Amino acid sequence: MSTESIAAHPQPVNKRKRKLQLAPYLFVLPNLLIFTVFIVIPTILGAVYSFHEYDGLNPMTFIGIENYAEIFTDVKFWQTLGKTATYAIIVVPLIYICALGIAILLVQQIVLKGFFRAIFYWPTMISFIIVGLTWRWIFGELGIINGVLEAVGKDSVSFLSDPFFAKLTVIIAAVWSRLGFFMVIFVAGLLAIPKDYYEAAHLDGASKLRAFFHITLPLLKPTTLLVVMLTTIEAFKAYPLMFALTGGGPNKATTYIVQYIYETGFAKQELGLASAMSIVLFVIITIFTVLQFKLTKGGEN
């Protein structure tokens, strides 16, 4: 549209406009450079690798779509992807509900509001590795919980050796560490809803619950879309937390897709195959995101 309007204008204005348009590009230049060097180029390289047999060291040999064919018959890959999906199905709603719930509580006029917001936000500033270690010190064999159990004369429990408890620990740690970030987004979303709607609803005799379901939730649709999309992508990419907390165990119970790809690439030295897996994961996440976007009409009301 902008090019059309420029073309319609006489020459001098056109020149002036062009000059002015340089600024925005300069604005994005630093980020664009970093994005190109660290995201775009590696992605293209990854796509190239995916059609080759490559160990990262010796010359690549082109093998066409053999890597992709191998993935489609690799039961472990799809099992791991299924496990990751299950994890996402549990973690995404949990983070959504907890973040929204806490955001609603913390937009009320309460004492020490800033303090509580900070407490929930702080964990998001800690790296996943530290979060993992921290929860390991709580649930681990030598962790605080077992220390307390022993102190009161009970037998210690090997939480992280039990698939169910290990998964639970990972979920708790993930929710704890990400909750604050999405709470802040919800707080912004909630504050953007005009107060008048609630006053009108109150005058009409609507209950708080009704107001929530008929005013808050619909008006939070764009925020909801953003949060669900981000948490879903995050859940599919989860690895550093499990790496530090469970190492993917017990017996692969918490080994999700990124760890599986990592192990294929770096432990088994099959970088070509691992690249193909990354591309498959990339396509799946893209389809999912586009679908979500379409279904919610881009989050517009």
Binding site for another protein (CB under 8 A): 22-23, 26-27, 29-30, 33, 37, 55-58, 140-142, 156, 158-163, 166, 246-252, 263, 266-269
Closest distance of CB 281 from another protein, Å: 19
Tell me which residue has tokens 């294929």.
Answer: 264
Q: Return the structure tokens found at 34.
A: 């970093």
Structure tokens at 91: 């973690």
Q: Which is nearer to another protein, 142 or 151 (CB)?
A: 142
For the CB of residue 131, give the shortest distance to another protein in the complex, in Å.
16
Q: Cα dist. 287→130, 235, 240 in Å?
A: 32, 15, 24
Q: Which is nearer to another protein, 17 or 202 (CB)?
A: 17
**Using CA atoms, how far apart are residues 73 and 70, in angstroms rounded to an integer?**
5
CA distance 74 to 68: 10
Q: Is the backbone peptide bond immediately before 12 cis, with ω within 30 degrees of 0?
A: no
Q: H or E element: which one contains 16?
A: helix 11-35
**Nearer residue to another protein within complex by CB, 152 or 209:** 152
- Helices 75-107, 113-121: axis angle to 10 degrees equals 170
CB of 98 to another protein, least distance (A): 27
Sequence-separated contacts (24+) of 69-74 with Cβ below 8 Å: 70/273, 70/276, 71/273, 71/276, 71/277, 71/280
Residue with Cβ nearer another protein (53 or 234): 53
Which of 38/282 has CB closer to another protein?
38
The answer to whether residues 46 and 279 touch, using CB atoms and an 8 Å cutoff, is: yes
For 38-41, the CB contacts below 8 A with 24+ separation are none
In whole angstroms, how close is the CB of 26 to another protein at the nearest point?
4
Shortest distance, position 57 Cβ to another protein, whole Å: 5
CB-CB contact of 62 with 51 (8 Å): yes
- Of 118 and 148, the one with the shorter C-beta distance to another protein is 148
Min CB(27)–another protein separation in Å:
7
